[in-house]
Amino acid sequence: MGQSTAKITDEMAKTVTEQRLGFLASVSPDGAPNLSPKGTFVVVDGSTLAYAELRSPNTLRNIAANPRVEVNFVDSFARKGCRFKGKARFVGKDDVAFSGLRPHFDGWGDLADRMSGIVVIDVETALSVTSPAYDLGQTEEELRAQWTENFRRMQPGGEFRGN
């Protein structure tokens, strides 16, 4: 769908699909960064991401004037993720492209029904990102075990003590 040749690798697509939650930065009219979470991200194809517009008025306003965005995804257990830079556009329900995109959100029930449209991101740059913990020689298996335990302790009644 996108015009670019940026490659969303299979590993990146897995992260986006599993996590769904990406932090999207857009540029405000005064040049200030605007960062907000979107928990409905899907991979449309090898160079296109999309999320459901539910209540993100500032992002919508920003991309209408300046489509440049960055969105990051992190697997909090594996301590790795991906960064995508590109251009975003809003596809409203009456847009011809909407019916082709809407099936990506099927099965999400009431939440998807509430969307006013879909924001599509044509990805121009796709990068992997890893925690510096890997620089210390820690393995993904070790980090997953450590953070699975940390998240368990973060649950109500748990005993989270930080690192």
Binding site for ligand FMN (CB under 6 A): 21, 34, 36-40, 51-59
105's CB contacts (< 8 A; 6+ apart) are 40, 42, 52, 112, 115, 118
Nearer to ligand FMN by Cβ, of 3 and 36: the residue is 36
CB of 141 to ligand FMN, least distance (A): 27
Report phi then psi at 152, rounded to 5.
Answer: -60, -40
Whole-Å CA distances, 33 to 3, 69, 107, 121, 141: 25, 10, 33, 17, 35
Shortest distance (Å) from residue 134 CB to ligand FMN: 26
Return the biggest CA–CA distance within the chain.
52
Closer of 15 and 59 to ligand FMN (Cβ): 59
Minimum CB distance to ligand FMN, residue 41 (Å): 7
Q: CB nearer to ligand FMN: give 39 or 100.
A: 39
Nearer to ligand FMN, 67 or 138 (CB): 67
Position of tokens 């540029």?
A: 27
